[in-house]
Each structure stands twice: as C-alpha cells, then as structure tokens.
C-alpha cells in the first residue's frame, strides 16, 4: 500500500493494492477512433484494501478522499442475483449506483470463470466469503476528485485486480471511454495507447476482449521552460462529452486520426518546450475544427506567455500550462481568480 495511507480496519486483510492516476497529454476524443494517444502516469493514485467481515451477505464500501474524509459510504447486497445498495446519502447516490453496476458486471465475469478459475482466499471464493462473513472495502484517493486524474478508472482497475477478472472487459461493460486511463493504472506507467481500428476494447457479446496497442514509455518533461498543472475549480463529465463527440460526422473524425497520432508520438519524446508549443498549436487547431469549439488557449489564455492545453475532455478538470518564460507565466497564472497551480513534476511521474 502506497505510504500506508489506508486506515486500520478490524478484520483480516485479504487484498491490498495501489495504482496511479493519469492525464491525457494528447489524443483526446480522437483516441476513440483509433488515434494514438499519450497518457502520462501521475505520482498520485488510489489505494484499495479489502477485509474479511462486516455482516454476512453485506459488502460495506467506504471511499475516502485525499483529506481522508469519506465521500461515499454504502452497503451492498446481492438480492435474487442482483446487487442492491442502501445506507447512502442523496449526494452520493450517483456514485453508489455506478459502483453497484460495476459490482454486478464484475460478479458476472467472476461467475463466468467457473469455480476452478475464480479467485479468492485459501480456496474459498470471494462470493462464499461475502455470503458467509461479509466483506469490507476501503479506498483512498491521493488527489482531489475534481482534478480528473482518474478516480473512476483507478477504482475500476483495483476492483478487477481484487476479484481476478479481466479489467478491460469490465471497463468495456461499464464505461464508454477509450480505456487509456485504465491501462495507465494497469501498466503503472506512462503509455502510448491505440485502439485497433478505433473499435471498442470489447462488448457484452464478445467473450474475448480486443487488445489495445499499449507501449509503456519512460516520459521526460521538455527543457527550456516550465510546465504547470492548473486546477480551475471545475469538473468535466467526460462521458457526456464522449457522447457528443460520437455524434459528429464519422468521416471528419477519421480524417484527424493520422495527424493526431503523429503528434502524440512526437510529444512522447519532445525534448524542449518550443517544440511542445508548436505541437500543441497544431493539435488544438485540428480539434477546434472538428469539435466546433474554441481551444482552452483561445477561450481562457489571452495574454498568457505560452499555451494552455486541455487534458482530456475540453473544459473543467486539470489543464496544462506551458511557457518558455517561467517568471512571466507564473505571475499571469497566479493572478487568475480561483486557479490553483502545481509544478508539473510534482503531480506527474517523469524520468530524470
């Protein structure tokens, strides 16, 4: 467990793991159509610990934020083969419902493995432990949920690793994203990521997931300037933006794939800030034309001596600020109301 951050809970510890969060430096949206995307691993992530016992038949789930405060507390039970949830607040009902769907899909995948393949402890399956003694799960985020570093994808990766089910299949059954965020968590590394022919990883009718093309990389930040990650104080709902993107003209979307792929590959080894800025100008121009929306630099970066770059869905979540003039750039950023600024390498894992 990273930094031993999870609280001590009574009961036998059955599973313990940590995975990193992520940002999408390039390839947003078009990764869904088969473009190569560049996903970077965060120094921060999410932990999970699973303990024996709560009440027989009950899975008690507590999710802690980066301040170690619970943002979700819920009890889950299987009733007539279907997961049900109770004991939640109205504010957490959407998240609790999403988790219920994940548990339903994971348990279905686990049942499909058969008794000989299903994981558990000491020859006892997780399903038997649940019904005989109950289970307690606690997760712990290292980062603010509003940052968009992957609170959902890291939790899904941890759930799949705990239960021993195929994480990609579970992701595809419950999520409409590209899967790059899941892969960063599973690989524990920055990656170049591409979907084969832009197809979903799998679907509910396919027993064998389509394999994405994943290349772990040792990412190094460019020289000759400074990079910051900025929290504007908002949160983007990526799933809604993905639906909007999929409604765009297919031919126009596919026409962007090759150039976006080339830019992602170039950014993976970009040596200096000047080249990075040029790549971002080209990347944003392609997506502005496709999406019919102004890029972040155009909408919020007037006067900034460098470039502001969205990371993932446009609007909300953390974004990148890059400048060859660090002092002037930092002064500009610090004068923007409600923005919180973090050195890039404080949050993102970079090679020396």
Could you give the domains of the chain?
2-217 (3.30.230.10), 226-347 (3.30.70.890)
CB 58 within 8 A of CB 77: yes
Which comes out higher in pLDDT, residue 157 or 240?
157
By CB neighbour count within 10 A (0-12 exposed, 13-18 middle, 19+ buried), where does 5 fall? middle
Using DSSP, state whether 185 is helix, strand or coil.
helix
Q: What confidence tens digit (pLDDT) does each residue in 120-165 have? A: 787 889 999 999 999 999 999 999 998 999 999 999 999 999 999 9
The contacts found for 300-309 with CB under 8 angstroms, 24 or more apart, are 300/232, 303/332, 304/329, 304/332, 304/333, 305/329, 305/332, 306/225, 306/273, 306/277, 307/277, 307/280, 307/281, 308/230, 309/25, 309/280, 309/283, 309/284
- The answer, yes or no, to whether residue 230 has pLDDT greater than 50, is yes
**Dist. CA 62–CA 78, nearest whole Å:** 18
pTM of the model: 0.92
Q: Measuring CA to CA, which residue among 264, 123, 113, 281 is closest to residue 180?
A: 264
Residue 88 pLDDT grade (very low, low, confident, very high; cuts 50, 70, 90)? confident
Q: Which two tokens stand for residue 122?
A: 């000491």
Q: What is the pLDDT of residue 233?
A: 82
**Residues making up the chain, counted from first to last:** 352
Which comes out higher in pLDDT, residue 235 or 168?
168
Q: Which two tokens stand for residue 255?
A: 């026409």
**Dist. CA 97–CA 83, nearest whole Å:** 10
Residue 318 pLDDT grade (very low, low, confident, very high; cuts 50, 70, 90)? very high
Backbone φ and ψ for 29, nearest 5 degrees, come out as 70, -60
Q: What confidence tens digit (pLDDT) does each residue in 14-53 have? A: 999 999 999 999 999 999 999 999 999 999 999 999 999 8
- The answer to which of 69-78, 154-163, 218-227, 230-239 has the lowest mean pLDDT is 230-239
**Dist. CA 91–CA 288, nearest whole Å:** 35
Backbone φ and ψ for 217, nearest 5 degrees, come out as -135, 150
Q: Report the pLDDT averaged over residues 312-332.
A: 93
Residue 117 pLDDT grade (very low, low, confident, very high; cuts 50, 70, 90)? low
């Amino acid at each position: 467990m990273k930094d031993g951050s999870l609280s001590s809970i009574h009961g036998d510890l059955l599973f313990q793991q940590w995975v990193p969060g992520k940002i999408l430096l390039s390839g947003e949206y078009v990764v869904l159509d088969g473009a190569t995307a560049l996903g970077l691993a965060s120094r921060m992530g999410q932990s999970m610990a699973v303990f024996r016992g709560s009440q027989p038949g009950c899975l008690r789930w507590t999710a802690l934020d980066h301040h170690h405060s619970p943002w979700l507390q819920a009890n889950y039970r299987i009733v007539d083969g279907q997961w049900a949830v109770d004991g939640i607040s109205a504010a957490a009902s959407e998240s609790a419902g999403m988790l219920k769907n994940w548990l339903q899909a994971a348990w279905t995948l686990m049942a499909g493995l058969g008794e000989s393949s299903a994981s558990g402890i000491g020859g006892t399956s997780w399903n038997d432990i649940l019904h005989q003694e109950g289970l307690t799960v606690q997760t712990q985020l290292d980062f603010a949920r509003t940052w968009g570093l992957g609170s959902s994808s890291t939790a899904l990766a941890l759930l799949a690793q705990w239960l021993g089910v195929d994480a990609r299949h579970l992701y595809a059954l419950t999520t409409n994203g590209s899967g790059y965020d899941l892969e960063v968590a599973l690989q524990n590394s920055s990656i170049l990521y591409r979907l084969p022919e832009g197809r979903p990883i799998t679907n509910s009718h396919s027993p064998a997931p389509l394999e994405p093309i994943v290349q772990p990389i040792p990412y190094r930040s460019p020289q000759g300037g400074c990079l910051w990650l900025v929290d504007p104080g908002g949160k983007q709902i990526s799933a809604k933006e993905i639906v909007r993107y999929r409604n765009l003209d297919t031919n126009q979307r596919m026409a962007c794939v090759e150039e976006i792929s080339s830019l992602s590959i170039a950014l993976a080894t970009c040596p200096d800030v000047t080249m990075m800025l040029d790549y971002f100008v080209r990347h944003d121009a392609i997506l502005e034309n496709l999406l019919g929306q102004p890029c972040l630099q155009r909408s919020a970066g007037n006067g900034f001596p460098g470039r502001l770059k969205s990371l993932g869905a446009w609007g909300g979540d953390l974004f990148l600020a890059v400048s060859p003039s660090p002092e002037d750039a930092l002064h500009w950023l610090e004068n923007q109301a409600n923005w919180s600024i973090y050195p890039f390498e404080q949050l993102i894992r970079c090679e020396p």
